[in-house]
Amino acid sequence: MPELPEVETVVTGLKPQVVGKKIVGFKDSGKNLRYALPDFALLLQSPILDVTRRAKYLLFHFENGQTLIWHLGMTGQFHVLPTNQAEAKHEHVTLTFQDDTSLRYRDTRRFGYAGICATDGLSKHIWLSKLGVEPLTADFNAKHLQLMLKNKKISIKQAIMDNAVVVGVGNIYASESLFRAGILPTTASQTLSLQKLKKLNHNIKDVLIQAIKAGGSTISDFVKADGKPGYFSHSFQVYGRDGKACLVCKKPIQRIVQNGRASFFCTKCQS
């Protein structure tokens, strides 16, 4: 599933291709995504003012005060293509612009979903209202982590993947951040000292920034808006490297399953 760096990469790629354009037509494949599709007629003839991100949601802000909210699910992709270009397989939504280009949404598994909301009511929308702080803002710091974790009796890996604590730190980046911070993913979250939390906070930010600069991580289906893969997977130090030598100490990387998700770590470098 695309995580925060992948969604941020998509936002960056789409902005110059769609901002200022008006939707003059739309069509869909007749198949719902995870939920029924919204009424795209609400967006007709109104220019796109901006494309932003909240957690793993793409937000297309329109001049008429509406925002199109889109989650990519596991296999969702956006492409901006000439309107007369033939539809590709698994293309489920086409939003046509006035300049004979169109925004195409492809989704093999159809786990993505979309909705439309008044822009001034976004913070109260059911998909967004309970989200925690953004990890790349000043609000996400060691003191925030200490406050949020003090009564949590779960592992630190689970805690930093909890969207009520901090948004967008998915499975890949949680494993990588914990390795760099020297913290085992199974550590009880409420037992970490402020010093350890400072180190973790720094490394979460650093890993996410590095991943965004690399265009995200392509594991299976993710591609950027230009159709190219992300390259942060070449920088993985633990994720997907179980049985291979730790790049720091040479001990084999371990793999366990926590709450249905694989965790990767080094028993010597992390404690």
Instruction: Kindly give the confidence (pLDDT) of every residue in the chain, 271 residues in length, as a single tens digit, with 9 standing for 90 and above.
Output: 678 888 998 999 999 999 999 999 999 999 999 999 999 999 999 999 999 999 999 999 999 999 999 999 989 999 999 999 999 999 999 999 999 999 999 999 999 999 999 999 999 999 999 999 999 999 999 999 999 999 899 999 999 999 999 999 989 999 999 999 999 999 999 999 999 999 999 999 999 998 888 875 544 443 445 555 444 555 789 999 999 999 999 999 999 999 999 999 999 999 9
54 annotated active-site: no
Q: What is the location of CATH 1.10.8.50 in the chain?
A: 142-265
Indicate which residue of 2, 5, 135, 185 is catalytic.
2
Q: What is the location of CATH 3.20.190.10 in the chain?
A: 4-124
Indicate which residue of 27, 34, 152, 261 is catalytic.
261
Q: Domain 4-124 adopts which CATH fold?
A: N-terminal domain of MutM-like DNA repair proteins (3.20.190)
DSSP codes joined into one string, the chain: ---HHHHHHHHHHHHHHHTT-BEEEEEE-S---SS----GGGGBT-BEEEEEEETTEEEEEETTSEEEEEE-TTTEEEEEEETTSPPPTTEEEEEEETTSEEEEEEESS---EEEEEEGGGGGGSTTTTT--B-TTSTTSSHHHHHHHHTT--SBHHHHHT-TTTBSS--HHHHHHHHHHHT--TTSBGGG--HHHHHHHHHHHHHHHHHHHHTT-B-SSS---TTSPPPBGGGG-SSTT-TTSBPTTT-PBPEEEEETTEEEEE-TTT--
56 annotated active-site: yes
2 annotated active-site: yes
224 annotated active-site: no
Indicate which residue of 53, 56, 199, 241 is catalytic.
56
Indicate which residue of 3, 8, 91, 176 is catalytic.
3
CATH 1.10.8.50 fits 142-265, yes or no: yes
